[in-house]
Structure 1
Amino acid sequence: MSCSLDDKPIDPTDIAKRLKGLSSAEDFFATLGVTYDEAVLRVARLHILKRMGEYLAGDDLEGLPDLVAAARAKAVLARAYADFESSSPLAQRVFKVLKEHDPERPVPPKTAFVALDEIAPLPSR
């Protein structure tokens, strides 16, 4: 099932402040007027929002005019969502735990060093 918000215009008033107060992925999509497939959102909601945050990192939406900030936020959310439309959260590896356990980067074997005198004390002379 797809959620279409194309017929609803975005209210850009204080968009940066309003985005900070949102609590669900659906709220972000509704506020910014981005169309989404519920099946994609059900699987990747946190990953999409995390990716959106990565894309917005360093941008100061509060310093932009409302129309520009709203357009920027909408474009970034649509871009983050598109990353997961044709790919899985496991393939995208947004979160640290997934990045650290990448099967393409095997963990080097750990070696332990124990000094010989710790195993068997040397005889005193």
Structure 2
Amino acid sequence: MTCTHTPDLAPDVMTKLRSAGSAEEFFALLQLDYDPKVLNVARLHILKRMGEYLVGEDIDGLPAPIAAARCRAVLERAYEEFLTTTPLEARVFKVLKTAVEPPKPPAFVPFDALLK
């Protein structure tokens, strides 16, 4: 099942996105379909990844339709990543990145150093 929303895009899409209160609102504002099952599992990961991708985009000062199209493409890219990858595999958040780091070996203290 996919959800389709087609509200008006505000002249300043970034202002609208900043005030969005849920992942569903992001998809609605940018007029993207989504599978609620995917969004329920990976919503924070999708939005975090979208933010990472937006850092590489220069949206400030663009006309609203172009800014909206770029934001839409970035959200779509982030969403599609989680259609084939689990949040655990993608490791978007630091806690998941460090969860797989090999443990650091204990510090070696020579026996002679203990006797001093």
Q: Which has the higher helix share?
A: 2
Indicate the structure (1 or 2) with the bigger Cα radius of gyration: 1
Q: 2:83 maps to which residue? A: 85
Matched, 1:68 2:63: no
| Uncovered stretches (5+) of structure 1, i.e. residues with no partner | none
Matched, 1:17 2:10: no
Q: 1:2 maps to which residue? A: 2
Q: 1:107 maps to which residue? A: 102
User: How far 1:59 moved relative to its partner?
Assistant: 2.4
| Uncovered stretches (5+) of structure 2, i.e. residues with no partner | none
Of 106-115 and 64-73, deviating more is: 106-115
Of 112, 119, 125, the match for 2:114: 119
Report sequence identity in percent: 52
TM-score normalised per structure 1: 0.81
2:7 and 2:19 map into 1 onto residues whose CA distance is 20
Asked whether the equivalents of residues 4 and 34 of structure 2 are also in contact (C-alpha less than 8 Å), the reply is yes
TM-score normalised per structure 2: 0.87
Asked whether the equivalents of residues 4 and 28 of structure 2 are also in contact (C-alpha less than 8 Å), the reply is no
Of 94, 97, 115, the match for 1:96: 94
User: How far 1:18 moved relative to its partner?
Assistant: 1.3
User: How far 1:116 moved relative to its partner?
Assistant: 4.0
Cα RMSD (Å): 1.9
> How does 1:41-56 map onto structure 2 within 5 Å?
41-56=39-54
SS in 2 for 1:61: coil
1:20 and 1:9 map into 2 onto residues whose CA distance is 16
Number of positions where the alignment pairs a residue of Structure 1 with one of Structure 2: 116
